[in-house]
Amino acid sequence: MSGLTTKYLLCCDWGTSFFRLRLTNLYDHQCTGELISREGIAGTFDAWRKTGAATGMSRDNFFRRQLKKQINALGRQLAMNLLNIPVVISGMASSSIGMEEVPYAVLPFALDGSQSSIRHFDPQPDFPHELMLISGVRSGQDVMRGEETQLIGLVTLLTLSGEKTREAIFVFPGTHSKHMYVRDGQLISFDTYMTGELFDLMAHHSILKDSVDLIDLTDFSAPNVLAFRQGVQQATASGILNGLFTIRTNQLFDTFTKAENAFYLSGLLIGTELLPLLAEKGWPLVLCSGSKLTGFYELAIRELNLADRATTIPADLIDQAASRGQAMLFRNQTLKEITR
């Protein structure tokens, strides 16, 4: 591997429904350029089944071809030749519908990256890049792909800024939110919550879709905040199954407008997600959210009286976390290959 001589690294975060490619400087960790698209793993896998498989193209070669298109697009965008620059991929590319399925690492999982499950591919004539595919982590009943690399990068960034955390629960909001329990440099447990996906299902594909208006979920006006807080309280009072139907009755009884009801739904779901943290007394909470969801989670944390042990990580650090984790794993893997 050329990790000790290369200046740049192509860092790819390839999720189920999104794709992000960054050209990262390995010396100063600055992002030179970025390309984002909706060409996620699920869509790419479907395209391979419809076209690639029918022509005899292997799955991994089909994914390489799609990746090469994105690398070429980023090169044109930057007016740079990106040939021979190594590529590191985390996320769903190592899943059963990805480029190649790579076994999960297991708990406890060291956050120095030494226990990461990695598959290495040599350059090929039609894909002149070393490629490193990072797998996820599993517990006895849960799995994740991608968030573990973010966590590795984030812990590295926090350590560099002088913020060492011996023990904490890292909360990563999203379509499938993760609560990751870290102690003494190891991920020891984690839980997944389908918060974002359930919000989308309820707001677009259920009887509740006519009871909410998603026109502006950035409007934290007093009525919307009040509705959100009441949603959080409803989660503590009756649980989610009964609570969801109150969104319907809120509309029938003119308790809230449809826009306010959307905030109520958000409060109900986020409140339900965070409720188990009330029992985790003594554990500091670290909110790891991009700017889109931070306000909602901070409101719910305050409403549940968790704010005295919660810290919010700045959005710019969260944005850097995945590529920093990928760069660290690439360096580790390079050194491992050299010392064999």
Average pLDDT over residues 116-131: 96
Identify the pLDDT of residue 52: 80
Task: Provide the pLDDT confidence category of residue 338 given band limits of 50, 70 and 90.
Answer: low
Q: Indicate which CATH number applies to the domain containing 240.
A: 3.30.420.310
Q: Do 272 and 213 fall within a single domain?
A: yes
The proportion of the chain whose per-residue pLDDT surpasses 70, expressed as a percent, equals 97
Q: What is the pLDDT at residue 340?
A: 58
Q: Are residues 101 and 25 in the same domain?
A: yes
pLDDT at 337: 65
Q: Which of 83, 113, 145 is the last residue of a domain?
A: 145
Residue 95 belongs to some domain of the structure: yes
Residue 173 lies in a domain: no
Among 88, 115, 145, where does a domain finish?
145
pLDDT of residue 20 exceeding 90 = yes
Question: Do residues 123 and 197 both lie within one domain?
Answer: no
Same domain, 127 and 198: no
At 54 the pLDDT is: 81
Count of domains observed in the chain: 2
- Per the domain annotation, does 33 fall within a domain? yes
Beta bridge partners, 168, equal 182
Q: What is the pLDDT of residues 273-294, one digit of tens each?
A: 999 999 999 999 999 998 789 9
Amino acid code (one letter) for 117: S
What sign for the dihedral angle of Cα 225, 231, 235, 241? Answer: negative
Q: Tell me the average pLDDT of the chain.
A: 95
Which helix (H) or strand (E) covers residue 204, if one does? helix 195-205
pLDDT band at 334; cut points 50, 70, 90: confident
Token representation of residue 329: 């794993």
Judge whether 78 and 23 are in contact, CB under 8 Å.
yes
Q: Print the domain residue range for 261.
A: 192-315
In terms of domains, do 118 and 196 share one? no
End of a domain among 145, 170, 205?
145
Closest CA to 280 of 151, 164, 168, 200: 168
In the chain, the N- to C-terminal Cα span, in Å, equals: 12
* 140 and 197 assigned to the same domain: no
Reply yes or no: is the peptide bond before residue 173 cis, omega within 30 of 0.
no
Cβ atoms of 17 and 42 within 8 Å: the answer is: yes
The answer to whether residue 2 scores a pLDDT higher than 60 is no
150 in a domain, yes or no?
no
Give the pLDDT confidence score for residue 229 in this predicted structure: 99
Q: Are strands 105-106 and 137-138 parallel, antiparallel or unpaired?
A: parallel
Q: Are 12 and 140 part of one and the same domain?
A: yes
Query: Same structural domain for residues 52 and 134?
Result: yes
Judgement on whether residues 132 and 220 belong to the same structural domain of the protein:
no
Is residue 1's pLDDT more than 60? no
Euclidean distance between CA atoms 90 and 21, whole angstroms:
11
pTM of the model: 0.94
- Asked whether residue 4 carries a pLDDT value surpassing 70, the answer given is no
In this structure, how many other beta carbons lie within 10 angstroms of the beta carbon of residue 338? 10
Confidence label for 165 from pLDDT (cuts 50, 70 and 90): confident
Structure tokens at 43: 């869509």
Q: How far apart are CA 92 and CA 146, in angstroms?
A: 7
**Assigned domain for 324 exists:** no
Find all residues with CB under 8 Å of 103, minimum gap 6, and list them.
117, 135
| Residue 164 predicted with pLDDT over 90 | no
Distances (CA, A) of 131 to 2, 65, 93, 136: 11, 13, 12, 16
- Note whether 196 and 290 are same-domain residues: yes
Q: Which residue in 326, 324, 328 sits closest to 313, CA to CA? A: 324
**Does 326 reside within a domain?**
no
Q: In CATH, what number is assigned to the domain containing residue 33?
A: 3.30.420.300
The confidence score (pLDDT) of residue 159 equals 87
Q: What is the mean pLDDT of residues 294-315?
A: 97
The answer to whether the beta carbons of residues 171 and 286 sit under 8 Å apart is yes
Q: Confidence class of residue 5 from pLDDT cuts 50, 70 and 90?
A: low
237 and 139 fall within a common domain: no
Residues 221 and 278 in one domain: yes
Give residue-wise pLDDT tens across range 59-107.
999 999 999 999 999 999 999 999 999 999 999 999 999 999 999 999 9
Is 198 contained in some domain?
A: yes
196-203 mean pLDDT: 98
Model confidence pLDDT, tens digit, residues 217-245? 999 999 999 999 999 999 999 989 999 99
Answer yes or no: is 29 within a domain.
yes
